[in-house]
Amino acid sequence: MPEITSSIHIVRRYGHVGGMERYVWELTNALAKQGQAVKIICEKQFDDAHPSIEIIELGTVRQKPRWLAMLRFSNRVSQCINEIDTKNWVIHSHERTACHHVTTFHGPPIGDRKKSWLDYLSPRLQTWSYLERREICADQVQYVLPNSLLISEQLAAFYPQAKHKLCEPAYPGVDPSFYNLTSTSDGNTIGFIGREWKRKGLDIAVQAIEHSRQQNPKLKLLVAGPSPDEIAHLFVNWPKNNYELIGWAKTEEVLARIDLLLHPARKEPFGMVIAEANGAGVPVLISENCGIAPLIDKDMGLALPIDIVKPWTENISVVMSLKKLKKLKLTWGSLALQHINLYQKIVKSYDG
């Protein structure tokens, strides 16, 4: 059992209600299972947690506009921190707050967007930029944990004054259930998973498979996430037997049915579904814009640029034929150990 640490985690919604929120839930429960002391400060708890975890609910605030909700939540967190005993506790934020020692950055920084000369007139953008800069650069912030190398590089570019605070990426874990999935695939089914289908490149996937069907007419695309009505226009010229639009579905159920995961995302801070596909033994063909891309080698799949469709078409059958895939072995337990080691360094700095 590792040395005991005490950490307070800040997240607006605590539970399986989003990718970032699930990350926090899994991490904190993995910490608690390893005997660590954990508290949560949140607006609302959505899922049960390890019995040793103390939950402090602040109550919800008006959710829109989002930038004002972030500011209100930050102010309420600061007030809460001032009212509780935090001596020897590491304060770890996953939000835009003002009183943390560690922050995990789960998405692209605000600077990674198309800019306009009118940006300085937008209270939303100005507030968001202020909160983000404070989250990373404030004096009490000792460490910044990006969730991928891609995010780390972006933060270093936009906040060079805080480059010394950046740690090794804190990659999400994969639930053990994915390693035990039983495949029911037919050898010809390609999967696409993601509600934000434009950002995740469903249109690129459709183009690539259209060309690949000329060599293999049996290829079928299974799309999970977006509403079928929302994406039906992409398949007007497709034979009915070559695609299936199933809407929302559990990732495990989809991965069991497919022989390849196609994920040509335009932007993807990490790509949790890619790691889960790898755990399930499904090869992946993904874009270089995914944060997980540097971890994918030729024994797992392939990462390609999205500006030309032809390489995607040419590599579908190649990647689909991969057998005995190499596994990344990302676990929530190993992520918890990475955090425990970091927290120990912070606590020792208190003693020093």
End-to-end Cα separation, the chain, in angstroms: 24
At residue 69, the pLDDT reads 85
% of the chain beyond a pLDDT of 90: 82
Burial of 150 (0-12, 13-18, 19+ CB in 10 A): buried
The model's pTM is 0.89
The CB density around residue 17, as the number of other CB atoms within 10 Å, is: 14
- Tell me the pLDDT tens digit for each residue of 178-187: 999 999 999 9
At residue 1, the pLDDT reads 61
- β-pairing, 143-146 vs 13-14, is unpaired
Q: Which domain holds residue 122?
A: 6-173+331-351
**234/146 Cα distance (integer angstroms):** 35
Place of tokens 């080691």: 341
Residue 338 located in a structural domain: yes
Q: Is 343 left (phi over 0), alpha (psi -120 to 50) or beta?
A: alpha
Q: What's the domain count of the chain?
A: 2
At residue 192, the pLDDT reads 98
Place of tokens 């306009």: 116
Name residue 43's amino acid. Answer: E
**141/239 Cα distance (integer angstroms):** 56
At residue 323, the pLDDT reads 84
Shared domain check, 239 and 197:
yes
Shared domain check, 208 and 124:
no
Pair of tokens at residue 258: 């497919």
Mean pLDDT value across residues 274-295: 96
Strand order in the sheet with 143-146: 54-57, 37-42, 6-10, 90-93, 102-105, 143-146
At residue 119, the pLDDT reads 64
Shared domain check, 167 and 24:
yes
- Tell me the pLDDT tens digit for each residue of 96-150: 999 999 999 998 887 766 666 666 667 778 888 888 999 999 999 999 999 999 9
Shared domain check, 283 and 217:
yes
CATH number, domain with residue 84: 3.40.50.2000
- Tell me the pLDDT tens digit for each residue of 63-92: 778 778 888 999 999 999 999 999 889 999
- Tell me the pLDDT tens digit for each residue of 189-245: 999 999 999 999 999 999 999 989 988 999 999 999 999 999 999 999 999 999 999
Shared domain check, 82 and 28:
yes
Q: Among 9-23, 54-68, 246-260, 280-294, name the one with the lowest average pLDDT.
A: 54-68
> Does residue 65 have a cis peptide bond before it, meaning omega lies within 30 degrees of 0?
yes
Residue 16 located in a structural domain: yes
At residue 107, the pLDDT reads 86
Distances (CA, A) of 266 to 10, 165, 291, 293: 29, 28, 11, 13
Closest CA to 326 of 351, 302, 290: 302
Shared domain check, 315 and 226:
yes
Closest CA to 174 of 5, 326, 26, 351: 26
Residue 326 located in a structural domain: no
Burial of 268 (0-12, 13-18, 19+ CB in 10 A): buried
- Tell me the pLDDT tens digit for each residue of 32-50: 999 999 999 999 999 999 9
